[in-house]
Structure 1
């Protein structure tokens, strides 16, 4: 199709009374999802009016579609699947009675769009992380990564559009990547997108919608919470739980996620869970998988089937906070983040990937130890998972070693833990492994030292159980090791994730 784009031949005077506009998150410089999916374009107009949408490049029309504005003043167009690249312009012309009005987007690219969400560790900007000056100085070298940040907002009802925007679609600069503490733009999101771009070499769109100090219940729809037996009472948290952000059920889903549902996505990256070490900790193995499943269904429906129904969902397993062990809420959340499997993908969480971060502690962080500054390692580990799970890169290792078998030799007083990968033993730790010698429901955990390690097997010595071992766990503390110095890594320097296992319900246990 070689027709010439109209390029605003219609006057602004005609446009004035027609109420034609895009939804809030469509703007110059944006990235729309590339083929094989189709991007969805939508906005507002006069009910009953005809709307023509044209995608143009070099003054030529690449595609053209006509739709009618619905009774609720909404028009919505599914574009044809577009290859990666650009720039394109998008013209929208509304024909209503004797009036014609026009709006336009410029410098639009097609690539992959990723949504980044969660709480304050996702909010931390590039100016707050290690090597911030260097990272900010490099920003202009990546003009084909585009960034967008939704404003903080909450609502007791599901909103159609975003109430406000902190950072409209932009080419990255030092200013908009390091705007302010816990403002825009997310360091984890930016670095994740940059690592992807360095491999994929085509445009990446990054959409941030996050709020610090918020529990998962605020990001979950009412139907997702209902699946986990949670009431619809928005104010069910005890008053003594202090959060810096909203805690009421569904208020962030309503205002900061629901308005984005028409957007065609490649995937989601999530960094949240710290707030749930304070409340509903042992429901997280339900609420997190339920959120993933619900978001997938909602984005698939909102994008008219263009966002995949099982789109890739990546997340960060929690790092650390306190050196002094007050309780085991952090280890339990880490475990529940995997739906109690210890690894992903798994049966309850298909097409997911995880960045283990328990070895990225930062006791001297000026933002508090709960906010470690090494977001480069977090994003790098996330992008490995994305390359393997979302992009199908074969033979790419993206998670550290996980135990396949526990073999107990009571007579020799040793345990052999066989892993899924070859391991690197960084040091001979005497506390990171613990055994249970009693009824699993009444466990008193005792440290057991690492004796030797080779290839895929770690041997634990000096077993003190009088008869047999009923449980074994690894790194089950809030602060299990110093920075990048946990005992076990794989050959790609990815840390072994924490685990807990019991002999009575695990066929991989061998006792002799």
Structure 2
């Protein structure tokens, strides 16, 4: 069908209906979302009649990014032709008019709307010569992109209290949803080839279409909770595919930065194929933020490169979305993510623990110097052994989304009084004579499980390898945890917390803050010469 053939979006066909196969009449969208072999046959016909209209992901009911950014709008036309874009409000009152030239040979036009306050509904009309295409019921608000693997693709139908959550859809008509179809490509595409759900007002049916299809529960709940805090429209864009490693979502540029090009993987795991087909097409969209839930596939692929590949993906997406939106999407695009939950109760390997650590670029807490403008929902305490979708797919997505929206409000929206991080160590002090290790945390602590051994120390004399031993908690007071170092004769070389595939039962890890947020896992192994035998040696984290 040629690269500029797009069978999606609101398109006006410059063809007599009699030339078209049955069912391809006036409204392209009616058949385009059931993309089928028919499309191939229509292709030649469509090229005869120059196609005019918006790109695939502009449609009725959509949300465009509000001020301070301007929303980018683009589409297809006759090379060289002038396109007029008109935004009109109630009663057809013209709010804004823009003109754009269709560029050859791509046959695309682009314009940036002036920044608009939140609200609507508006009509957006593009005209070229005698042809007009109008999108209706368009609102301005914040647009969030949700991406990742199956825990992001898991739909509202699959989660805890699904029936109540689906029934609640009707109360949120201003949280609009859109889902790209899973697709892969060996080259970067400029537009989506297929769409699973065009822009829609949420209903029980489109939020619970089927398992792992649309609409993403984490994305929906994040949008819903943000709407409750912000009280203006939100547009949610889902682009997720189960079982996919980060390499598939990364551009070749990002992979090169981590020395990872040239791998032989196939299908949706091939490097860059999902970047090419599902992310690159969206770059012209003005965004407010990204939510990401991915990493399970990398617990057995390039696990120890994730501390490079993940920060590289974030930096690369930011640069690409900023450039693609003509500078409208901010350079430090807020990027939220879910730290991995659990998989197997007695998982022998520590690949989940390592990946959780690498998700923070080995610093344990975000935002940090290597990952500015990010926020994280800890999920290691939300395990669900009896999930019908397998224990790697916990059904409590409400707490995941709640923790994510706290981070979004603090990091993306700058709310000063929102606590979004759990307690994190700020220093450790060894009392050798008493065989104790005192760890000071950033917040007041709640000691939720007294019978669990979540802390471990590595005691040895170099160069022998680490032997990890449990270090029982003997006291928790205010911000301080005291560990007993029984059996630790030599140096304490390292310290770790919750370092396991399944660190604790549901909402029952050892340490939380008073807002119910868990202390994230950590590994402290860069102790110069170990915790020394001075009575009060201090180690700053």
Shorter-chain TM-score: which interval? over 0.9
Aligned pairs, number:
490
Q: How far does the alpha carbon of each residue in 1:271-315 deviate from its partner, in whole angstroms, 9 at most, with x for none? A: 000000011000000000000000000000000000001110000
Deviations 1:338-367 (A, max 9, x none): 000000000110000000000000000000
Contact 1:34 1:84 in 2 (8 A): yes
TM-score relative to the length of structure 1: 0.93
Which one of the candidate residues 216, 232, 235 is aligned to 2:246?
A: 216
1:6 aligns with: none
Greater displacement, 454-463 / 265-274: 454-463
Deviation of 1:429 after TM superposition, in Å, equals 3.6
Are 1:404 and 1:508, in contact at CA under 8 Å, matched by a contact in 2?
Answer: no
Q: Which residue of structure 2 aligns with residue 484 of structure 1?
A: 507
Contact 2:245 2:297 in 1 (8 A): yes
Q: Of the candidates 382, 390, 395, which is equivalent to residue 412 of structure 2?
A: 390
Contact 1:47 1:70 in 2 (8 A): yes
Corresponding residue for 1:51? Answer: 83
Separation (CA, whole Å) in 2 of partners of 1:511 and 1:38: 59
Matched with 1:304 is 326
Matching of residue 168 in structure 1 with residue 220 in structure 2:
no
Report the Cα offset of residue 461 of structure 1.
Answer: 1.8
CA drift at 1:411: 1.3
| 2:382–2:507 CA contact under 8 A, matched in 1 | yes
Q: Among 397, 420, 423, which residue is 1:401 paired with?
A: 423
Change (3 A) 1:503 1:75: closer
Equivalences for residues 241-390 of structure 1 within 5 A: 246-390=268-412
Aligned partners of 2:416 and 2:200: how far apart in 1? 33
Q: 2:494 aligns with which of 471, 483, 503?
A: 471
Q: Is 1:34 the counterpart of 2:57 in the alignment?
A: no
What per-residue deviation string (whole Å, max 9, x for no partner) do you get for residues 225-266 of structure 1? 000001234x258xxxxxxx7110000000000000000000
Determine if contact 2:437/2:485 at 8 Å carries over to the other structure: no
C-alpha change, 1:193 and 1:447, in structure 2 (3 Å) is same
* C-alpha separation in 1, matches of 2:386 and 2:532: 40
Q: Partner of 1:7 in structure 2?
A: none
C-alpha distance in structure 1 between counterparts of 2:252 and 2:529, whole Å:
35
Whether the 8 Å contact between 1:116 and 1:210 is mirrored in structure 2 is yes
Distance in 2 of aligned mates of 1:192 and 1:506: 45
Corresponding residue number in structure 2 for 1:77: 111
What residue is the counterpart of 2:258 in the other structure? 228
In structure 2, how many angstroms separate the alpha carbons of the residues matched to 1:429 and 1:94? 71
Q: Is the 8 A contact 1:469 1:503 kept in 2?
A: no
Q: Which residue number in structure 2 is paired with residue 459 of structure 1?
A: 482
User: Matches of 1:169 and 1:258 in 2, distance apart?
Assistant: 19
TM-aligned CA distance change 1:482 to 1:511, over 3 Å: farther
2:175 is matched with: 145
Q: 1:350 to 1:469 in 2, by over 3 A?
A: same
Distance in 1 between residues matched to 2:57 and 2:530, nearest whole Å: 51
In structure 2, the CA distance between the partners of 1:349 and 1:499, relative to structure 1 (3 Å rule), is same
C-alpha distance in 2, partners of 1:503/1:429? 28
The structural deviation recorded for 1:409 is 1.1
Matched residues in 2 for 1:146 and 1:44: separation?
Answer: 24
**Which residue of 193, 197, 208 corresponds with 2:223?**
193
Q: Return closer, same or farther for 1:91/1:511 CA change in 2, 3 Å cut-off.
A: farther
Q: Is 1:20 aligned to residue 52 of structure 2?
A: yes
In structure 2, how many angstroms separate the alpha carbons of the residues matched to 1:260 and 1:411?
A: 61
Deviation at 1:331?
0.3
Query: Hey, what's the Cα distance between the residues in 2 that align with 1:503 and 1:213?
Result: 33
Given that 1:23 and 1:42 are in contact with CA atoms closer than 8 Å, whether structure 2 keeps it comes out as yes
Q: TM-score, normalising length from structure 2? A: 0.88
Q: Give a deviation string over 1:454-479, Cα, whole Å, max 9, x none.
A: 10001112432113311110000000
After TM superposition, the structure 1 = structure 2 runs for residues 403-442 of structure 1, keeping only pairs within 5 Å, are 403-438=425-460, 439=462, 442=465
Residue equivalent to 2:131: 101
Listed one character per residue, the Cα deviations across residues 440-465 of structure 1 (whole Å, up to 9, x for unaligned) are 88211011111110100011124321
User: For each residue in 1:351-394, what CA deviation from the matched residue of structure 2 results, as whole angstroms up to 9, or x when unmatched?
Assistant: 00000000000000000000000000000000000000000000
8 Å CA contact 2:126, 2:134 repeated in 1: yes
Distance 1:508 1:384 in 2: 35
CA distance in 1, matches of 2:407, 2:533: 31
Report the Cα offset of residue 325 of structure 1: 2.5
Note closer, same or farther for the CA distance 1:510–1:23 as it changes in structure 2 (3 Å cut). Answer: farther
Once the two structures are TM-superposed, the CA of residue 428 in structure 1 deviates from its matched residue by: 1.4
Q: How far, CA to CA, are the matches of 1:12 and 1:247 in structure 2? A: 40
Question: Aligned partners of 2:464, 2:314: CA distance in 1, in Å?
Answer: 30
In 2, the alpha carbon distance for the partners of 1:23 and 1:168 equals 12
